Amino acid sequence: MEKLKPISPLRMTDLSPNAPPTGEPICERVDPTTLYVDHSYQRQVSERGRKQIRKVVEQFCWTKFKPPICAYAVDENGATVLKVLDGQHTAIAAASNPHVGMIPVMIVDAPDNRAQAAAFVGQNTQRVGITPLQLHQAAVVSGDEDAMTVELVCSRAGIKVVTTPPAAAKYRARETIAIATISGLVNRQTAIGARRILEVLANADFAPITSPQIRAAELLMTHKEFNQRFDPEDLTKAMANLYLTAEEDAKVYAHAHKLPFFKALAIVWFRSTKKRRTPIRLVA
């Protein structure tokens, strides 16, 4: 079922709304190869950026397209050009796709270099970034296979991925927001392997199940130094028994031995886990 909600203004006290000092943007269709980028305040395209552009070209779809923000400027020859203030990767991807001839752009009133640089800063700071959790939920709704696999793994392990962090961080047992860590776990250990690891944590009734806990459990369940020396059920018991003290002990251990927190947590859990009996070797 769709969860539709109308846009309505926020009611906030002590608020002084600003009257826009410029005209509103206009939308135009342009050839992306006619656009320019000012590298006096914008970075060159990095190797990571080139990979992202390649991905956009290969998966180009208008439903995923966000119009670049541009402004008119004058080049060194006195000609009027359009400079991209935000969205150079999108513009380059469009220019690199032979199936795309024209793109829509939003043109703002920023007449000089200083105003354009200020607009660039505003476009990249005055926004609420999407979280991995929000991205995952959207991917599930869209039917993305990887997101659906992660959701299924969590469900079968008895873990609930909450859509938003609860008020005052009052989580229930087996809830988590560590979706990026779980996605990485599934990629590394396959769906079946990830489920086994997550079940150990779920059965300890952590509230919530956190990223360091997941990484610590993965280390214990997959590293040959640890995983042959205990049964998963006994690891769960150790986790539950140390529920209130393990993380404090791990912080102390991590600081003393200069270890990442998740590794220290794994060691704290492992030390309290019942070990399997090893067969007695008979001397001939």
| Listed residue (33, 111, 108) closest to 69, CA to CA | 108
Q: What angle do CA 130, 169, 236 make, to 5 degrees?
A: 105
Residue 145: CB atoms within 10 Å? 8
Total-model pTM:
0.69
Burial class of residue 110 in the structure, from the number of CB atoms within 10 Å of its CB (0-12 exposed, 13-18 middle, 19+ buried): buried
Mean pLDDT (whole number) for 268-274: 97
Which pLDDT belongs to residue 192? 97
Which pLDDT belongs to residue 16? 86
The pLDDT tens digits of the residues spanning 189-227 come to 999 999 999 999 999 999 999 999 999 999 999 999 999
Distances (CA, A) of 275 to 91, 194, 236, 259, 267: 59, 22, 13, 24, 13
Which pLDDT belongs to residue 240? 96
Mean pLDDT (whole number) for 133-159: 92
Structure tokens at 1: 């079922």
CATH 3.50.50.60 describes domain 26-125: no
Query: Where in the chain are all domains bearing CATH 3.90.1530.10?
Result: 26-125
Which of the four pLDDT bands, split at 50, 70 and 90, describes residue 249? very high
Residue 170: CB atoms within 10 Å? 10
